[in-house]
Amino acid sequence: MDHLNHQDSFNSFFMKTKLTYILLLFVCLQTYSQRKYIADRYYKEYAYKKSAELYEKIYDKGDHSKLVLERLGDSYYNNTNTQEAEKWYKELFKKYKLEVSSEYFFRYAQVLKSNEKYRESDALMQEYAKENPLVVIGSQLETTPNYSSEYSDDPTKKNINLYNVALNTEYSDYGGFLQGDNFYFASTKPTSSKSNKIYKWNNQPFYNLYTSKVTDTGLEDSKEIELTNQKLLSSNINTRYHDASAVITKDGKTMYFTRDNFDGKRKGKDRNRETHLKIYKAVLVDGIWGNVTELPFNNDEYSVGHPALSVDENTLYFVSDMPGGIGSTDIYRVSILSESRYGKPVNLGETINTVGREMFPFVSNNNELYFSSDGHLGLGGLDIFKSKITGAVFSNAENIEAPFNSSLDDFSFTINTDETKGFLSSNRKGGKGDDDIYSFVIPCTQNITGIIRDSQTGEIISQATVKLMDNNGVILKTVKSNTEGVYVFSAVDCTSNFKLLAEKLNYTSDRGMVNTTSILGETQELDLVLTPLIIRNEIVINPIFFDFDKFNIRDEAAYELEKIISVLNDNPDMIIKIESHTDSRATKSYNKKLSSKRAKSSRDYIISRGIAAHRIISAIGYGESQLLNDCTDENANKCSEEEHQRNRRSKFVIVSGNNKDNVKVNDPSSVILKKIDSKLKKN
């Protein structure tokens, strides 16, 4: 009986424990299921900060599934937390690399680049490009393999500094558009003028549009500009949802801007209950923005935003993820036909748009399209690019490099009409908050270019060294002429005087002066000519002249002899002979002796400058036997001093070490050359 009672008690306890375990398991499963449902919902509502937090808790509870890792990485990726995104994408690729879709190669490569791990990023991007032939980065990596250093060390931008403007906050502040001294920008900082609803994507208030004044700091050395007197635009423009990315016509009377799909009463949604962006137009009446209307090519099913105007204001550029595009978001253009009529939106094509994101278009007064992209080759995140607009044709996108671009997102580039100052936005390291606005001043610079040619043949000379110097002769920059003989000095100071020196081995150098003007971007041209020092079998310099009846080396003769020394130093195997000549005055015997002394004095000078004696095999005087003009004994009194001096000269004939095949058989030097060759063979 006691045994039975004990057994009944044990069974009762066992059943209670089992029920408790099942109940706890049910509660845990229910809690997990509930938490995952909440995380998924926040993710689908773009509340990425919240979804990241919840997915991490799910991961910690043991769910290491592909979906959880993808959404963890994506939650941080979409909020540009690249360190955390890298952590979770790394785990995703470690476990599921063979199963993930190709877009994750792109995203993982992007965050690696943003974290300045360029080699790892490039390898992943190459893998991605193999599966996606439309990816332009693959081919760009082949043509510019050292892009990370090339885009970071552009010497033409060394004098450009970016300044974090004072109005930036811990929230997201980004611009913008410049119209004269007015700058329009957007910010998520809280205001007292409207309900500070929270945007779930980044857990910040919605954007408002502001205007401010552009002011110089007055410090010339700093080249800094600031934004002051910021004002919130009227409630006709700012709603309780997103209002941002404004552009205004030159007359200041029409504004295009981006807003959530909101008509002032309710938010418009697509078939999945999601709200997209639209472009709206406002008109300035009596100093107040009003008469807000949406543009006819907006659509509830996709976003349209980031408006920009062409120089003639007949074309509106914008960004959209509409169906039929090339990437995540593309840049489009549409003709403005009248105040209320627009043409059909046209995609800018694969020259501009990629499989990635193209955003924030801006057209400069110089008719260049600036935009941000993570689909072209860049330093990380969104980089700023530019393309020259010619009619309906766009040149290849050009990365505008550091300091404008960084390893993180750089966007919303704008510049004034004379292209001397502007602003961009970035979440780069060292900022005050989320996105910050940076100002910059572009110093007035010009370009100097020209062609290097041979003075004898007129042919171009490549690989000539060209030096740019200031008035004091200090070398500022050095470049080489290219295969077309062209040299270029980019971004030299305006209103300055420069000296140029062109040099090349076995040529006499040439010099010139260039004065730059005050016009930004103008190009000054100066062609330079180099005179060959070696022609066939002779070192050709300006004549070595001697005073009448003298054999001492004059100063100008020493200057010319230095060219001989340079050629011999540059051609260490070269051997020469010296021939000296006189005019016809005095007797032939005397002139023969005088010319021999002149030849020997030339040889002695060259040897005194460190050239080995055996490299000058002879120094022969020919007297007056080889006159260059008619100043013979009979005509000596009829010739001027200059004509006589022309005959008092020296020649420097190459015996070996250059153009051996061009030495004539009947030339005495050919006999000497054979003797030298024979001697070398015996040794």
Residue range 461-485, pLDDT digits in tens: 999 999 999 988 899 999 999 999 9
Tokens 């914008």, residue located:
318
Least confident window among 135-139, 375-379, 472-476: 135-139
Task: Summarize the confidence of residues 137-163 as an average pLDDT.
Answer: 78
Q: Which residues pair with 174 in a beta bridge?
A: 186
Predicted local distance difference test score (pLDDT) of residue 663: 34
Cα dihedral across residues 120, 123, 127, 133: positive or negative:
positive
Least confident window among 18-32, 213-227, 261-275: 18-32
Predicted local distance difference test score (pLDDT) of residue 222: 56
Least confident window among 144-158, 189-203, 259-273, 548-562: 189-203
Token representation of residue 80: 């540009």
Give me the torsion for CA of 28, 30, 34, 37, rounded to 10°.
110
Predicted local distance difference test score (pLDDT) of residue 219: 52
pLDDT band at 253 (very low <50, low <70, confident <90, very high): very high
Cα dihedral across residues 299, 303, 305, 311: positive or negative:
negative
DSSP track, 31-85: HHHHHHHHHHHHHHTT-HHHHHHHHHHHHHTT---HHHHHHHHHHHHHTT-HHHH
Instruction: Count how many Cα atoms sit within 13 Å of the Cα of residue 90 in the half-sphere of its side chain.
Output: 11
pLDDT band at 368 (very low <50, low <70, confident <90, very high): very high
Predicted local distance difference test score (pLDDT) of residue 283: 96
C-alpha 350, offset from chain centre? 20
Task: Summarize the confidence of residues 242-252 as an average pLDDT.
Answer: 94
CA–CA dist 52, 39 (Å, integer): 8
User: What are the helix (H) ranges across 438-583?
Assistant: 555-570
Alpha-carbon distance values, 164 to 78, 182, 315, 403, 435 (Å)? 24, 18, 32, 13, 11
Token representation of residue 287: 């100093």
Predicted local distance difference test score (pLDDT) of residue 22: 47
Q: Which of 551, 624, 620 is closest to 586 using CA atoms?
A: 624
Least confident window among 58-72, 144-158, 429-443: 144-158
Predicted local distance difference test score (pLDDT) of residue 598: 85
Q: What is the DSSP letter of 267?
A: B
**pLDDT one-digit tens code per residue, 415-431:** 999 888 899 999 998 99
Token representation of residue 598: 């002149």
Cβ proximity of 377 and 135 under 8 Å: no
CA–CA dist 487, 462 (Å, integer): 9
pLDDT band at 443 (very low <50, low <70, confident <90, very high): confident
Comparing 136 with 366, the larger pLDDT belongs to: 366
User: Residue 397: pLDDT above 50?
Assistant: yes
CA–CA dist 208, 199 (Å, integer): 12
C-alpha 529, offset from chain centre? 31
DSSP track, 608-624: HTT--GGGEEEEEE-TT
Cβ atoms within 10 Å of 328's Cβ, excluding its own: 17
Q: Which of 622, 629, 609, 545 is closest to 578 using CA atoms?
A: 622
User: Residue 57: pLDDT above 60?
Assistant: yes
Residue type, 325: G
Predicted local distance difference test score (pLDDT) of residue 32: 52
pLDDT band at 255 (very low <50, low <70, confident <90, very high): very high
If one looks up domain 48-145 in CATH, what number appears? 1.25.40.10
468: three-class secondary structure by DSSP? strand
C-alpha 173, offset from chain centre? 25
* Ranges 250-254, 547-551, 621-625, most confident: 250-254
CA angle 484, 486, 489 (to 5 degrees): 155
Least confident window among 35-44, 80-89, 428-437, 664-673: 664-673
Predicted local distance difference test score (pLDDT) of residue 603: 92
Cβ proximity of 239 and 259 under 8 Å: yes
If one looks up domain 535-682 in CATH, what number appears? 3.30.1330.60
Predicted local distance difference test score (pLDDT) of residue 669: 38
If one looks up domain 445-532 in CATH, what number appears? 2.60.40.1120
**pLDDT one-digit tens code per residue, 58-116:** 999 899 999 999 999 999 998 888 999 999 999 999 999 999 988 898 889 889 988 88
**pLDDT one-digit tens code per residue, 625-643:** 888 888 988 888 889 888 8
Predicted local distance difference test score (pLDDT) of residue 201: 63
Cβ atoms within 10 Å of 145's Cβ, excluding its own: 10
CA–CA dist 49, 42 (Å, integer): 9
Domain-wise residue ranges, the chain:
48-145, 155-441, 445-532, 535-682
Predicted local distance difference test score (pLDDT) of residue 34: 60
Least confident window among 19-33, 128-142, 173-187, 662-676: 662-676
DSSP track, 533-590: SEETTEE--S-----TT--SPPHHHHHHHHHHHHHHHH-TT-EEEEEEE--SSS-HHH
pLDDT band at 156 (very low <50, low <70, confident <90, very high): low
pLDDT band at 548 (very low <50, low <70, confident <90, very high): low
Token representation of residue 256: 């295009």
**47: which residues sit within 8 A by CB, 6+ positions away?**
200, 201, 203
**617: which residues sit within 8 A by CB, 6+ positions away?**
575, 576, 577, 655, 672, 676
Q: Which of 100, 40, 107 is closest to 78 using CA atoms?
A: 107
User: Residue 44: pLDDT above 60?
Assistant: yes
User: Residue 344: pLDDT above 90?
Assistant: yes
pLDDT band at 541 (very low <50, low <70, confident <90, very high): confident
Predicted local distance difference test score (pLDDT) of residue 226: 87
Give the phi and the psi of residue 461 in degrees, each rounded to 5: -120, 115
Domains 155-441 and 445-532 share a fold: no
**pLDDT one-digit tens code per residue, 571-599:** 999 999 999 888 888 888 888 888 898 89
Cβ proximity of 514 and 498 under 8 Å: yes
Task: Summarize the confidence of residues 498-515 as an average pLDDT.
Answer: 94
Predicted local distance difference test score (pLDDT) of residue 83: 92
> Checking DSSP bridges between strand 383-390 and strand 398-399, what pairing results, if any?
antiparallel
Least confident window among 173-182, 454-463, 536-545: 536-545
pLDDT band at 646 (very low <50, low <70, confident <90, very high): confident
CA–CA dist 420, 398 (Å, integer): 19
Tokens 């706890």, residue located:
24
CATH of 155-441 given 2.120.10.30, 3.90.600.10, 3.40.120.10, 1.20.1440.230? 2.120.10.30
CA–CA dist 379, 148 (Å, integer): 6
Q: What is the mean pLDDT of the chain?
A: 85
Q: Which of 405, 245, 149 is closest to 397 using CA atoms?
A: 405
Cβ atoms within 10 Å of 478's Cβ, excluding its own: 14
**If phi over 0 gives left and psi between -120 and 50 gives alpha, with beta otherwise, what is residue 346?**
beta
CA–CA dist 516, 110 (Å, integer): 42
Cβ proximity of 649 and 543 under 8 Å: yes
CA–CA dist 241, 244 (Å, integer): 10
Predicted local distance difference test score (pLDDT) of residue 671: 39
Using H for helix, E for strand and C for coil, what is the string for 158-226? CCCCEEECCCCCCCCEEEEEEECCEEEEEECCCCCCCCCCEECCCCEECCEEEEEEEEECCCCCCCCEE
Judge if pTM exceeds 0.85.
no
Tokens 């406002």, residue located:
282
**pLDDT one-digit tens code per residue, 600-613:** 989 999 999 999 99
